[in-house]
Every structure is written in structure tokens, then in C-alpha cells.
Structure 1
Amino acid sequence: MTNFAHHACTGTATSAGVSIHYTIEGDVGAPVLVMSNSLGTTLQMWAPQMPALLRHFRVLRYDTRGHGRSSVPMKPFGMAELGRDVLAVMDHAGVARAHFCGLSMGGMTGLWLARHHADRFGRFVLANTAALIGPASVWDNRIATVRRDGMAAIVPGVLERWFSPSYRASHAQGMEPVRDMLLACDPAGYTANCAAVRDADLRGLLSGVEAKVLVIAGEQDAATTPAQAREVARAVPQAEYLSLDAAHLSNWELPQAFGQAVVRFGAGG
């Protein structure tokens, strides 16, 4: 593109043999904000926030390995690999330093990065996430179901957890893009990421996080509860806590409030 004031491009980074698809767009002089998606979605989960975010940031979104246009690894992986994927994307895009916003699994990725690679980041927004998401038996059952019956078998239950009853009743069409992302997710990629979340226990990292962090919770989130979010906020020395009246996918259910919170915090407010 020739508009250098608002440049947009896509790319593919390689991280330990895994291809990671990303897009970066916005004012080339603006601070960069990396967005990390939840389990089962793609970089398109951030579409509701993009107009607001692009007024303040250059936004770097990527498909987590095993999702969207990123490749499905053949070997098991964990949070370290998910975190290094972000660094590979930043390197490929020529981004030396950025703010970070992740939801659910993306928030766990952010926690790992905040502890191990703080020099590459400014502020972190960790939404609808926890340092430990269990129990393991829930993940094992979900993995077995997807391997046996495919993604369609779990989508109704996922949507029920991700959206509040009032949102589901009044925004049936609004959930369709999320449903489509879930149904399109590669089962092998999904189950591999389930295993990564199942095996991640980041509680020991929290007190060592020196960055400024905004923890966003959904008041009706049964997947990563407000109590779990408060545990993260209490343990991280420079953390703020914000509760939104939403379930798990708070950025989709309350796009304006979520976007405003990210802009305010990322701008240092």
C-alpha cells in the first residue's frame, strides 16, 4: 500500500518450524498493540475493537498456532512456545516493543511474556484469564470429545459459557461470527491448545511480573471467574482490576467498554 500514514499488511512468521499468520495495521508512528486471541478463535475475534484501537495504536493481530491461517504443530507445546510465537511475529513485523492485550488463553500467553520477556513490552491487558485454568479432567474430556466427534460437538456448550444469557437471547446473530470461527477451527490445533492450557500453571510467575497490568474480568464469566481474575490482580504488584458485566468473551459482548478500557490503560491513563 502507498498510504504510509495508515499502513496495513499481512505476513507469516516462523517460530520453531510453525507458521504464524499475522496482520499489522494503523498509523506507522503510533505505539504498537499486540492482540492475542482466545482458544478456538482467530485474529478476527478483535474485529469489534479495531475501529477504536486504530485511532490510538498500530495493531498487530495474529492467529495462535493451530488456529486460523497459522499451521498446526505436529508436536505438543506449552505456554513457552505460545509466548515465543509472539516474539517471532514481532520480529518478522519489525516491532521492537509493544503493548499486549490477550483474552483467556491469550491472557495466559501474556502472563508468560510479562515474566520472561518484559523488555519487549510496555503494558499488558489480561482479560478473562487466570494463572491456572482447570481442572485437568475438563480439558481431557473436551479433547476426547473433539477427537471423537469434531468441533461441532462442543460449540453449543462453548457459546453458552462465552456469552451471558441476556446476550444470547438478544444477539443471536451477533454470535454467528464466533460460532463460525469455532466450527472452522482445526480439531488437531484446538486439542493441542487445550492441552497447553491444561498443563499451564503460571501462579508462580505472578509476583515477579514488573509491568503495569490491567486485569479485566467478566462478572458472569464461569470459565475464568472474577475470583480467579482478582487472584491475578492481587498477586501482580502493579495490577489494576476492572470488572465488566459480561461472560467470558467480554470484548465481543461489550465491545465499546472493552475497547475504551484498553485505550485508556494503553495510553497510560
Structure 2
Amino acid sequence: MTDTLHFTAGDGARIAYRLDGPEDRPVLMLSNSIATTLHMWDGQVPELARSFRVLRYDFRGHGGSDAPAGAYSLDRLGRDVLELLDFLGIARVHFLGLSLGGFVGQWLGIHAPERIDRLILSNTSPHLGPASYFDEQIGNVLAASNLSATADMFMRNWFPASMLAAQNRTVEPFHAAILAMSPQGLAGCFAAVRDADLRRPISLITAPTLVIGGEDDKVTLASHSEAIAATIPGAELLLLPGVHLLNVERPAEFMEAVVGFLRSR
């Protein structure tokens, strides 16, 4: 595993990123869920890095990246990706985004089609509402003395009860990462989700697309995955038994789908 590096985005925010795998392989960019860091993919990177140059990063407001004040926009999160690719001199990537990362993947497919080879949208949605729900979450994280209640909420949304019932080494780092987060950064990304509505423009996506959903996802429902796949021309749909962080809950099936799609002609 490489060390975490940084670059400075156009508005001055420092964004953390990592590269793993051979330099001569196609680049696969990974984009994670809100309230996680690039370590969300630690379980997948060793296998992926055998076939791909794997690029992952922390959203602004998360992990090793800066947490500027104020609401973030999906446009800004998408431009962070494009500016990182420009900084690294990478013309095109395969892009795998889960949850908020999938919102960014949709944005890239619409606004920067020349940069995307194959697109995988996992456990995501083109629109989540109502806005009042996200306003409430923003108020909660900014007012709370710590993020323990927020962490508990995310854990219930991300993982099945069976994984949360006992001490679980797989899920514990996710809980710890939320407690260490910047409330300002989390609030900023909540605002980006609140304000995003891609339901119509995703019909413009031309990249070969795989949509992966969780049959028991409580946040980005299976019906959201079905709607994305029905709207993007030629998209493939795979629903797995599981909740939200399918790369963690169902790693074997998830990886089989991802690698199979990226290698298919």
C-alpha cells in the first residue's frame, strides 16, 4: 500500500488520495460513501491492484482532506475528481462509486463523459429526499458535542443487524472513523446530497454502466438502483442480498461483479 498523498483543488482545499498497483495498468478510481474514508476499500484494493492502477481519495470534509466551511455542492465534489485526474495527468478512468461516490459517478458520467471508460454505480440514488431530512441531519451534527448518535445511525443504515450484534473487527473501524470526522465536513457533504437531483440528466450517460444495489438497503433503496438502470441507456443491474456497504458485507459477490464487468468486452 502506498502512503496517502495530497493535492490542492482549485478553491484551495487539500484533498487526500492514494495510488496502488502497477503504473502500466488501466486506472480504476474508487469513490466512497459519505462518513467513510478511502480506507473503506482496504479489503478490495489488494485484489484490484493486481489488475488495475487503483486511485482512491477522501471527499473534502472527510479523512485526510480539508473540511472547508459551508455547504458543498455535487458540482464541487465532481470537480475535485476532475482536478485530481488533471493533477495526476490521467486522461480516462474506470470509476466505481458507492453511495455518495455513486452520486459523483453519475455527475461525471453526465458532465465529463470523455474521462470515464466504464462506470459502476453501487448503492446510490439520483435523488434523496426530503430536503428537510438533510437539514435536520446538518443541524444535528453541527450542534452535537460528539458524533456518537450520528455514528450509530450510519452503522444501522450500512450493515445488517447480524454484523452489529457482536464485536466485529470488520465494522468497528467504520464506527471509529465517524467519531473522528469533522462535523463541518459531514454537514457540507449532507448538503451536497440534499441539493442533488440527477433523475433526468442520467439519461445522457453514455459510458457502459453497471448498477449494483442491496435488496435490503434502507437508504438508497433497491428501487433507486432499478430506476438508475432503467434510465441510463444499456445499463446492467445487479441486486445483491445485503444492505448498504456491499463491498464490506458481501465482498466476494461484490468483487466478482465489479471485476467481471470491468473485464467484459
The answer, yes or no, to whether TM exceeds 0.5 is yes
- 1:94 alignment partner in structure 2: 89
SS in 1 for 2:239: strand
SS in 2 for 1:48: coil
- The separation in 2 between residues aligned to 1:208 and 1:81, in whole angstroms, is 20
- 2:105 alignment partner in structure 1: 110
Partner letter of residue 131 of structure 1?
A: P
SS in 1 for 2:44: helix
SS in 2 for 1:154: helix
> Does the CA-based 8 Å contact 1:11-1:93 persist in structure 2?
no
Pairwise CA RMSD: 1.5
When residues 123 and 251 of structure 1 are mapped into structure 2, their CA distance, relative to the original with a 3 A threshold, is: same
Q: Greater shift after overlay, 140-149 or 208-217?
A: 140-149
Matching of residue 197 in structure 1 with residue 187 in structure 2: no
Deviating beyond 3 angstroms after TM superposition, the runs of 4 or more aligned structure 1 residues are 7-10
**Could you tell me how far 1:170 is from its partner in structure 2?**
5.8
- 2:25 alignment partner in structure 1: 30
- 1:140 alignment partner in structure 2: 135
TM-score normalised per structure 2: 0.95
- The separation in 1 between residues aligned to 2:137 and 2:72, in whole angstroms, is 18
Matching of residue 267 in structure 1 with residue 237 in structure 2: no
**Could you tell me how far 1:166 is from its partner in structure 2?**
2.6
> Does the CA-based 8 Å contact 1:66-1:72 persist in structure 2?
yes
TM-score normalised per structure 1: 0.94
> What runs of 5+ residues in structure 2 fail to find an aligned partner?
none
**Could you tell me how far 1:54 is from its partner in structure 2?**
1.0
Partner letter of residue 76 of structure 1?
A: A
Deviations 1:200-250 (CA, angstroms, capped at 9, x unpaired): 011121111111111000111010000011000000002100111110111
Q: Work out the number of aligned pairs and report it.
A: 263
Partner letter of residue 190 of structure 1?
A: L
Partner letter of residue 174 of structure 1?
A: T
> Does the CA-based 8 Å contact 1:101-1:125 persist in structure 2?
yes
Partner letter of residue 202 of structure 2?
A: L
- The separation in 2 between residues aligned to 1:127 and 1:239, in whole angstroms, is 12
> What runs of 5+ residues in structure 1 fail to find an aligned partner?
1-6
Q: Greater shift after overlay, 75-84 or 30-39?
A: 75-84
- The separation in 2 between residues aligned to 1:52 and 1:212, in whole angstroms, is 22
**Could you tell me how far 1:171 is from its partner in structure 2?**
6.4
**Could you tell me how far 1:51 is from its partner in structure 2?**
1.8
Partner letter of residue 126 of structure 1?
A: L
Matching of residue 182 in structure 1 with residue 178 in structure 2: yes
**Could you tell me how far 1:8 is from its partner in structure 2?**
4.1
> Does the CA-based 8 Å contact 2:69-2:188 persist in structure 1?
no
